[in-house]
Structure 1
Amino acid sequence: MEKVLIVTGGSRGIGAATALLAAEQGYAVCVNYLHNQAAAENIVHRIKAMGTDAIAVAADVASETAVNHLFEVVDNQLGQVTTLVNNAGILEQQMRVEQMDADRLNRIFAANVFGSFFCSREAIKRMSTKQGGTGGAIVNVSSVASRLGAPGEYVDYAASKGAIDAMTIGLSKEIADEGIRVNAVRPGFIYTDIHTSGGEPNRVERFKDLLPMKRGGQAREVAHAILWLLSDQASYTTGTFIDVAGGK
């Protein structure tokens, strides 16, 4: 059976690195994106150049309807999904909690938490051996912020990733006997453009000397952890976290 992977937020950063590495390992890949069609199509072009099938699908994972459509497109164009990486996520301008309003919190939790629930739900329907599937694997992209808290910067983002940690643990136990493994990676201090969204593009440079390894991480280093958790090499691993944060 062909390995079919959906990577949410797959047009850039960790998502793009994961999509490309998965293609190198023989996965057919759906590159989900929100706005940047050109970037997503570029990743698809690079994957197809490897001789592997790939599609780009626009969908806001914060929308239940859009997620349903995403999975239906994959069903029709790539086949039944066997692996899912819940990577899509946002953060907003650095600020203290007393400055945050309801609109900001709703945006953060809709994208970072609800999106992972919606996508996992649709994946389970297709993967679960109790629902006629053949099993599969889900990897959630959390963050070391979930245990560090991101004080003075984005406690809301950290809290949303704490919710992903709890979801990973609970869901892994809920569907362990249905052939589906659920794990998470917790990146930290990785060179991606998400830091620009927080208002500090060079944030990794500010922190790197405080890290035990004295350097920031690369998206592909996170992707290697994700692909291991998706693979049969991790066949007895579920409910587990891999921190990719230079020892922080």
Structure 2
Amino acid sequence: MRNRLALITGGTRGIGRATSLRLAQDGWDLVLGYARDEHAATATKSAAEALGVECSTVRADLTTDAGIDELFDAASSQMGRLDAVVNNVGATLQISGLAETPPQTIRRVIDLNLTSAILVARRAVQQLGSGGVLVNVSSGAATTGAPGEYVHYAAAKAGVDALTKGLAIEVAPRGIRVVGVAPGTVDTQVHADAGDPGRPERVARTHPMGRVGRPEEIASVIAFALSADAGYVTGTTIRAAGGV
């Protein structure tokens, strides 16, 4: 019997990397999309293969139709039939109030976090068969609104939650599940990439649990959503935000 095959966007850093390695431990073969970081892609591929699974990495710009096609075409041609897609890619890019955020940054954030998520989901349900699962990685910001930090990002992730609900109902008759996972603040490079590397430590001081999340904790929720244990779970977003 062949291993199950999962495609993970943004699968070589942060939550994506943790999810890749968790699924590799569970025996999934992997196709991992990434944007720029060749070192992280090579390291994640090697770590996954060391766990005994097949792993392919594809550099692709998911804000373009060509990039999305390249990633999904590589999955079907190199690895075979898809069983799951983790729609994970995303970024905040800047931390500031909306009035101080340049219009071009807002457009990039919406394009990456919402438009590309919708188009990835479109390709996912075209290629997934009965029993397939799409996991959309949202954010706790979708309901808090993230005032003073990135309300445009929060709005994009709220759109992802709506995508999860509507698409799940649309494809349920085909035997495909669509589940959202909404992390809270997680200790990843995304904060430094947005210019605020100290944000996790600052947030932790006011967090109900006194700490921010670890990527591996979010990966465990995603692994559950993909598993047979979640066979009756669809059209909902699981919040993993430590009480926020």
Flag whether TM exceeds 0.5 (same fold).
yes
Which amino acid counterpart does residue 236 of structure 2 have in structure 1? T
> TM-score normalised to the size of structure 1?
0.95
Q: Kindly indicate whether the alpha-carbon contact (under 8 Å) linking 1:92 and 1:154 is maintained by their aligned counterparts in 2.
A: no
2:205 matched to which residue of 1?
209
> What is the CA distance between 1:101 and its match in structure 2?
3.4
2:47 matched to which residue of 1?
46
Cα distance per residue 1:16-47 (max 9 Å; x no partner): 00000001101101111000122111111111
Give aligned-pair identity as a percent: 38
Q: Kindly indicate whether the alpha-carbon contact (under 8 Å) linking 1:2 and 1:28 is maintained by their aligned counterparts in 2.
A: yes
1:165 matched to which residue of 2?
161
> What is the CA distance between 1:88 and its match in structure 2?
0.3
SS in 2 for 1:210: coil
C-alpha distance in structure 1 between counterparts of 2:193 and 2:155, whole Å: 17
> What is the CA distance between 1:224 and its match in structure 2?
0.2
2:131 matched to which residue of 1?
135
2:152 matched to which residue of 1?
156
SS in 2 for 1:67: helix
Which amino acid counterpart does residue 151 of structure 1 have in structure 2? P
Q: Kindly indicate whether the alpha-carbon contact (under 8 Å) linking 1:21 and 1:223 is maintained by their aligned counterparts in 2.
A: yes
Cα distance per residue 1:196-234 (max 9 Å; x no partner): 122211211111122221111100000000010011110
Matched, 1:222 2:223: no
Aligned residues: 243
2:106 matched to which residue of 1?
105
Cα distance per residue 1:150-209 (max 9 Å; x no partner): 111111111111110111111111111111111111111210010112221121111112
Which amino acid counterpart does residue 30 of structure 2 have in structure 1? V
Q: Kindly indicate whether the alpha-carbon contact (under 8 Å) linking 2:94 and 2:101 is maintained by their aligned counterparts in 1.
A: no
2:235 to 211, 231, 239: 239
SS in 2 for 1:50: coil
Q: Kindly indicate whether the alpha-carbon contact (under 8 Å) linking 2:86 and 2:137 is maintained by their aligned counterparts in 1.
A: yes
> TM-score normalised to the size of structure 2?
0.96
Q: Kindly indicate whether the alpha-carbon contact (under 8 Å) linking 1:4 and 1:82 is maintained by their aligned counterparts in 2.
A: yes
Matched, 1:183 2:179: yes
Which amino acid counterpart does residue 198 of structure 2 have in structure 1? N
C-alpha distance in structure 1 between counterparts of 2:96 and 2:196, whole Å: 12
Deviating above 4 A after TM superposition, structure 1's stretches of 4 or more consecutive aligned residues are none
SS in 1 for 2:61: coil
CA RMSD after TM alignment: 1.1
After TM superposition, the structure 1 stretch with the greater mean CA deviation from structure 2, 91-100 or 49-58, is: 91-100
After TM superposition, the structure 1 stretch with the greater mean CA deviation from structure 2, 197-206 or 171-180, is: 197-206
Instruction: Give ranges in structure 2 of 5+ residues lacking alignment.
Output: none
C-alpha distance in structure 1 between counterparts of 2:175 and 2:197, whole Å: 41
Matched, 1:196 2:192: yes
SS in 2 for 1:150: coil
